[in-house]
Chain A
Amino acid sequence: MRYAETGYNLEIDLSRGNIERVETDPKWTELYLGGLGTNAKILWDRVPPETEPFSPDNLLIFSTGLLCGTPAVGSNRTIVSTFSPQTQLMAYSMMGGFFAPELKYAGYDKVIFRGKSPNLVYVWINNAKVEIRDASHLRGKGAVETQELIRKELKDPNAQVAAIGLAGENRVFYASIEQGRSSASRQGIGAVMGDKGLKAIAVRGTKDINVARPTEFLELCNEVLKYIQWRNENPIKNVEPIFQGLGSPQEMAIIDEKWHTTGFMWGNARTRRKDFWNKEAEEQWKQTQESVRTRLISCYNCPMKCGALISVPGISNYMMKCYTKLTYTMAAMSDLEFGFRIAQRATEYGVDGYSTPQVIAFALELYEAGILTDQDMPGMPTGTEERFYWLLDRIVRREGIGDVLANGTHWAAKAIGKGAEAYAHNNIKKHEQLPLKLGMLNPVYFLMYCTGEKINITQIEGQFPQEPFAAKEQREEFVKDWLQVPDEKFKQYFLDWDPRGEHSNPYYPTIQATCEIVDWMERMHYIDDALGVCAGLSSFPLKPPYHMHNYPSFISSGAGIAMDEAGLTQVARRNRTLIRAVNIRKGMRRADEKPPEDHWRKRFPELEEKLLDEYYKFKGWDHQGIPTKASLRELDLAYVADDLEQRGIIRNEQG
């Protein structure tokens, strides 16, 4: 018997309309666990680097994580993987909600799509019965609306539906996939779904998921629940409200937005408003948020309720989570009410809440600068807020200038020319980032920004505080119950880290310590993404319930795979290296590994080079960031080494 996983994938060829249920190799689970790990393996094996993201040969994988569907608290992630039209690299976006567990109960670990359907279709997975159904009547329908229509059509209110909106249908490079209270938004995976002619996937399952050692597994779940309860009652001291608790950022619960509104950038990621948050703003925003927020809601089997049902008078209800609450507001230099209003339309269209407002603000800045003119924007209204709606409507339809902007700031700037490139200033590897501009280089963040395969800081960071604590006593208090550290030395790094002086950024943490901290943070993310556990309970917040010390037992008692900390570290390294290899084979090199040019005011070119050198070495990669033959072999990735060697990417002298 297979434990935690079902042992079966669905293979759906949309060109031929062929559906197959395929048994998977349990050896793969041992090597890569599942989720992101096995997705990467499949993409490596089956999508050659020449394949264009919009080719029928590109795959689009909807995967559960290994623990999804078990009682492990918060293990509900759907990991969607493909190749991004925007970055041309591997894209993996994840969503919470209810989809992955339902897919497991239907009897599948993954759904793998290939080909392209000639007509718009949706797929209905009802336990063993799987059909491809016509979706022509859903063309142009909103992503939220589509979920509702499909549930009605199937007469199954309990079906979980993931759908794209107009943006996905029109292959907007930052189109999202929406599902209930969640979405997989980054890197344009919704565009790949649209390119495949796939409007939605609906799933319903009523089968069991088994665990290997039930009593032990449940005991672990109970411990996690108890710890969550304790953590909720004991927020972390000496940090901003956003860092105090568990969950993905509690934006729906938190009213106090001082940290975001005064620290992050407004407009096209340029304007800092240090004095924005005053009594008046607080009053007004509190009033707005409380009047539209109908209920705080959770994902499957998690008590953290990071999302909310939003009911703005006059428009239909939708659900929101996280930082989208502020992205439109801040990009348009507007207020919270505007943010909640436009986010409804954006959610129906199915676009990424990070990239979209930045693309629009970028276009408006180009217009102010005279690089885009009235000829490019015929009929554009005068107010900024109206302009946001106007541009959003054009982008998702790829109408006029919208067609250019639909490819994101990097490609749009290239197409527009006339110096537009300087305005696309907040990207890493062609992908829009959080609008954050800071003073002093932080070495840990430097490495994460440069080298993170996810190309999205919030899904790389966590665990180690973002800033040093001012007072020694505060630090001592913090490390006292820091049981999550994989090694005691991390406590010392934090204790010794000062806001100023010799032991401060950018030279402290030392290069070696920086590599180790980054390694710990990303390790946790790679484990979460393979297991399908929400980062909000593990890799993302400070002092989470899941960590290096309890994860191995979850895996061994849940999936019946012998696992210890060393073994799990090895799996995380393997997965991390495999995804790196996928991207290296796509052409990514050291020159691409840069933070946004203006992310920090104070830069240290020499130190930065050293950081990259040492980190690459630490990882077992060469000077270009290419994994060495020896390190690949050591990770059971000899087949990767052979392929890279054949292609001349790994040179023989590397050994």
Chain B
Amino acid sequence: MSKVKKKVIKIDLEKCNGCRACEVICSAFHAKPQYSSNNPARSRIRIVRDPLRDIYLPVYAGEYTKAECSGKDKYVIEGKEYSECDFCRASCPSRDLFKEPDSGLPLKCDMCEDDPEQKEPMCVQWCLSDCLTYEEIEEEAEEKIKLEDVEIGLESLVDKYGFQKVMDAAARMTKKD
């Protein structure tokens, strides 16, 4: 069993002051040439904010998704209502978050692995209130490989038979159990 380093950004919602410095620096860091421009609409972290209801939720851009979810649940946390999408990292057709404003191409947080390699992600460096902190944790590597195996396998099945057929087959298998 080997161990791998995993990069984790911890988000402490209590400490967010809503300044959006994280958005500023992320978009500047990823500008070409680097820092030549900035535009929060291009940031890979966005603050979902509703100041009068005390909602400040930093969300990182994750995977691109082709279709939006059908059901959207609501969460109530300490009296504040969030939609499921508020927590979601997807660059999704249901919203304009995590998309290049002109081309609509999806954006994804890359942990600032662009060059030059940073000691900490830029958004963390610019978050002086410690809402965002960075840690590297060690994780067992095998499980991750297994997951990836399954994913690769599934992907190939999907490629071969199409998504719907695979899903149907999986549904039938679950029913048999």
Binding site for B on A (CB under 8 A): 69-71, 73, 98, 105, 144, 148, 157, 180-181, 205-211, 214-215, 217-218, 225, 228-229, 232, 294-303, 305, 309, 311, 316-319
A144's nearest neighbour on chain B, judged by CB, is B52
Q: Nearest Cβ distance between residue A318 and chain B, in whole angstroms?
A: 8
Q: A300-B19, A300-B20, A303-B128 are in contact. Are A157 and B50 (CB under 8 A)?
A: yes
Beta-carbon contact of B37 and A210 below 8 Å:
yes
> Residue B36 contacts which of A73, A211, A316, A317 (CB distance < 8 angstroms)?
A211
Beta-carbon contact of A294 and B54 below 8 Å:
yes
> Residue B17 contacts which of A98, A209, A303 (CB distance < 8 angstroms)?
A303
Query: Which chain B residues lie closer than 8 Å to A73 at the CB level?
Result: 21
Beta-carbon contact of A303 and B54 below 8 Å:
no
Q: A298-B18, A303-B128 are in contact. Are A71 and B38 (CB under 8 A)?
A: yes
Query: Which chain B residues lie closer than 8 Å to A294 at the CB level?
Result: 54
**Number of chain B interface residues as a range:** 20 to 34
Query: Which chain A residues lie closer than 8 Å to B18 at the CB level?
Result: 297-298
Bound CA span A73–B28, Å: 13
Beta-carbon contact of B21 and A211 below 8 Å:
no
Query: Which chain B residues lie closer than 8 Å to A295 at the CB level?
Result: 17, 54, 56
Q: A295-B17, A305-B17 are in contact. Are A209 and B51 (CB under 8 A)?
A: no
> Residue B39 contacts which of A209, A301, A302, A309 (CB distance < 8 angstroms)?
A209
Bound CA span A157–B86, Å: 12
Bound CA span A207–B42, Å: 9
Q: Does B94 contact A (CB under 8 A)?
A: no
Query: Which chain A residues lie closer than 8 Å to B129 at the CB level?
Result: 303, 305
Binding site for A on B (CB under 8 A): 17-21, 24-25, 28, 31, 33-42, 49-54, 56, 101, 126, 128-129
Beta-carbon contact of B19 and A214 below 8 Å:
no
Bound CA span A232–B129, Å: 11
Sample of 28 A–B contacts (CB below 8 Å): A71-B25, A71-B28, A71-B35, A71-B38, A105-B41, A157-B50, A181-B51, A207-B101, A208-B37, A208-B39, A209-B38, A210-B36, A214-B28, A214-B36, A217-B35, A218-B35, A295-B17, A298-B18, A298-B19, A301-B24, A302-B19, A303-B19, A303-B129, A305-B19, A305-B129, A309-B51, A317-B53, A318-B52
> Residue B34 contacts which of A208, A214, A232 (CB distance < 8 angstroms)?
A214
Q: Nearest Cβ distance between residue A85 and chain B, in whole angstroms?
A: 30
Q: A294-B54, A296-B17, A301-B20 are in contact. Are A225 and B128 (CB under 8 A)?
A: yes
Q: Nearest Cβ distance between residue B77 and chain A, in whole angstroms?
A: 15
Query: Which chain B residues lie closer than 8 Å to A98 at the CB level?
Result: 20
Bound CA span A232–B37, Å: 29
